[in-house]
Amino acid sequence: MSLSVKQRAQLRAKGIVVRIEYGNGSVKCSTPEGERYYTAADLKAMAKPGFMDRFTAWIGGAA
């Protein structure tokens, strides 16, 4: 279960850089606080854009 380019970009915007995806579903990431391990499912949930992200994109597209 790998993360898409769009999901990686969303995470990078939040300060999380994916380093290594392991076969067991865990992912090694770099954060401003240091290196952390997440599950791929947790990262996919974190990569979903929030309401304000979609609203800002809508305003940018309308301008």
Chain segment 42-53, per-residue pLDDT in tens: 999 999 877 666
- Helix/strand/coil for 51: helix
Cα-to-chain-centroid distance, residue 46: 6
Beta bridge partners of 20: 28
Specify the pTM.
Answer: 0.74
- For residues 2-16, one letter each, b for 16 or more C-beta atoms within 10 angstroms of the residue's C-beta and e for the rest, the string is ebeeebbebbeeeeb
For 41, other C-beta atoms within 10 Å of its C-beta total 11
For residue 2, name the pLDDT band (cuts at 50, 70, 90): confident
**Residues 47, 3 contacting (CB under 8 angstroms):** yes
Answer yes or no: is pLDDT of 23 > 90: yes
Higher pLDDT, 61 or 8: 8
